[in-house]
Amino acid sequence: MKTDELKQLEQFILQMPKVELHLHLEGTVRPATLLDLARRHGVKLPADDVEGVRHWYRFDHFLQFVEVWLAILNCLRDGADFARVVRELGETAAAQRVRYVQVTFTPSTHQRHKGISFDEIWEGIREGTAWVERERDVRLQFVPDIPRNFHPGSDGSAEATAEWAIAHQKEGVVALGLGGIEAGNPPELFAEVFQHAKAQGLGSWPHAGETVGPESVWGAVRALRADRIAHGVRAVEDPDLLAYLARRRIACDICPTSNLRLGIYPSFTQHPIRKLIAAGVPVTLNSDDPPMFHTTLTDEFLTLARYQAFTAAELAALVRTGVEVSFLSGAEKTALAARIERELSDAASGAGVNLASE
């Protein structure tokens, strides 16, 4: 791609509307905010300035990431903390022209380690959400997830998360999630919990196919009846699985920078996102835990343009897919799709790029 063409494409990316379907609330905490929360609650961190926290946000493997993740969770102690983090999430989204975000959070871990009730967490989240939607015009919906090491029947927290999610569907909870360490914790262990949640109207959104291969994705779609897969990138290792996902329109919410930072793939040029798309699998683009991975959703789009030569039309298609496979209601989905089309057209016109498929 010529330099002038790339500059036009970068301008388009900065101005284009976006949606994000894979964003962890706890993973959006800004370094400065984390330091402030740690001081407020008397939590000792390995760093005492912003640059130190940014350096701490570097990982050689997934287990190291989990250690940092748990330290961040330890700094969120009350509803006011959650309200603040949601507000800041909304500010960041609005600055990137993100119109809709599906946010996941892990209430059972907060309850188990700090004694914060699901309802106190949710009260803070709802307070922050009301501000974001009113002041920043960003639509937020939420997915509480079950940590994989909290097996059903062990302490009841998996079942409690599902029941809480079912009870709060009218307040912005749209699905049940599954997160944490894949190895040794296959989706099949959670089949009964997810089947119950699905029967009560919730979507199914498990993490799978990140640190474990296609067998994890198969378990998610068969045992958990997944509507979408958080990650799912390693489905590329199984042609039959790719065909299954494409045929059933089960999307994979892909997070390229996250995959690189955690050592799943060695470089952006070797990331298999194009293989998923070429196989017909619906794909969305996401930032996962942006401050922790030194990225933003805008950066993810820029990365595809710079390292994999995605065109404006291909990037726009990712946004449209995000609307299509979201858990929004039919009416909201239709309205958002119309808005996205208008704003994509305006952004393309302003940047001088062509949205027609080649």
Question: What would the 3-class secondary structure string for the chain be?
Answer: CCHHHHHHHHHHHHHCCEEEEEEECHHHCCHHHHHHHHHHHCCCCCCCCHHHHHHHCCCCCHHHHHHHHHHHHCCCCCHHHHHHHHHHHHHHHHHCCEEEEEEEECHHHHHHHHCCCHHHHHHHHHHHHHHHHHHCCCEEEEEEEEECCCCCCCCCHHHHHHHHHHHCHHHCECEEEEECCCCCCCHHHHHHHHHHHHHCCCEEEEEECCCCCHHHHHHHHHHCCCCEEEECHHHHHCHHHHHHHHHHCCEEEECHHHHHHCCCCCCHHHCCHHHHHHCCCCEEECCECCCCCCCCHHHHHHHHHHHHCCCHHHHHHHHHHHHHCCCCCHHHHHHHHHHHHHHHHHHHHHHCCCCCCC
Phi, psi at 343, each rounded to 5° = -75, -30
What are the distances in angstroms from CA 154 to CA 105, 149, 151, 177, 189? 21, 9, 6, 18, 11
CA dist., res. 17 & res. 318, Å (int): 11
Is 210 a residue of the active site? yes
CA dist., res. 66 & res. 113, Å (int): 15
Q: Which of 20, 210, 215, 300 is catalytic?
A: 210
Q: Which residues are catalytic?
A: 210
